[in-house]
Amino acid sequence: MESILTNRPALKQVLDAAAEVAGYLWEKGWAERNGGNLTINITEHVDEQMRAMPAISEVLPIGVTLPHLKGCYFYCKGAGKRMRDLARDPMCAGSIVRILDDCASYEIIADSPIVPTSELPSHLALQNYAIGCGCGYKATLHTHPIELVAMSHSKEWLDSEHLTQVLWSMIPETLGFAPLGIGVVPYALPSSTDLVAPTLSLIEKYDVVLWEKHGTVAIAPHIMEAFDQTDVLNKAATIYMTARNFGFLPEGMTPEAVQEIRKAFNLPDHR
């Protein structure tokens, strides 16, 4: 059967980027087995032929009602699918779904009836937020960055502001590429809708959200940007841990130095 990507170069380019990111996640050890997932709003690339495509699945519930998603289309990594397989062929490890008019359910239209990630409710809630605020964010990424997850096992690092300030102070680029920092959501059952509200409350304020003892969530205009924000914050965590492994507490840049960087590069104020 012909793939939905055939003769749709713009759509293929979006999913090629998703495949590239998936490969990076596997190489970094952030996507063990079927760990992590991603969702991308592809509505702008949907043509009339795609809109006319019949469903290849039954109607499936999202678990929440998301009014801004009516008629939208998303590429979603499949439940139980591996990032390393997505890196080779995104349509063998994911599917394209159409949100129905009730804004509370969806159906799969291509290529195979691969049910999306079990964390779809939180991903689509973030997509609903992005459309509602008009910020242009199209991609959501959940992964398991080793050092950031490790830090979330200590109560010291469950304070969003404290964690953000320490990570910013490790290397100037952290502030440059993640100027809003990282927020922390207390532990909740993975895949549960209990993660939706606290994640939404923090994603408005921070670049990346860390789910305690689990992983991170990032939302950005492009999947590569969501990866980059996560990567730069985890690099800062790695620098901190490396210094501790050498037997000393890293000084970090002073608050004055951090503010100097923010001013020099005209970075947005931390809200």
Interval 121-144: pLDDT, tens: 999 999 999 999 999 999 999 999
pLDDT tens digits for range 64-112: 999 999 999 999 999 999 999 999 999 999 999 999 999 999 999 999 9
DSSP 5-73: TTT-HHHHHHHHHHHHHHHHHHHHT-S-TT--EEEEE-GGG--HHHHTPPPSS--EE-SS--GGGTT-E
For residue range 207-263, list pLDDT tens digits in order.
999 999 999 999 999 999 999 999 999 999 999 999 999 999 999 999 999 999 999
Show which residues are catalytic. 119
In the prediction, which pLDDT does 1 show?
73
Q: Which domains does the chain have, with CATH numbers?
A: 1-119+127-144 (3.40.225.10), 147-266 (3.40.225.10)
Distances (CA, A) of 258 to 166, 171, 265: 11, 10, 11
Average pLDDT, stretch 191-200?
Answer: 87
Instruction: Provide the pLDDT for residue 271.
Output: 60
Query: Where does the pLDDT of residue 190 fall: very low under 50, low under 70, confident under 90, or very high at 90 and above?
Result: confident
pLDDT digits (tens, 9 = 90+) for 3-47: 999 999 999 999 999 999 999 999 999 999 999 999 999 999 999
Average model confidence (pLDDT) across the chain = 95
130 and 137 Cβ atoms separated by less than 8 Å: yes
Report percent pLDDT > 70 for the chain: 99
Quote the pLDDT of residue 268.
81
- Neighbour-count burial of 23, counting CB atoms closer than 10 A to its CB (0-12 exposed, 13-18 middle, 19+ buried): middle
pLDDT band, residue 160 (cuts 50/70/90): very high
The answer to whether 93 touches 86, Cβ cutoff 8 Å, is yes
Tokens of 247: 């037997």
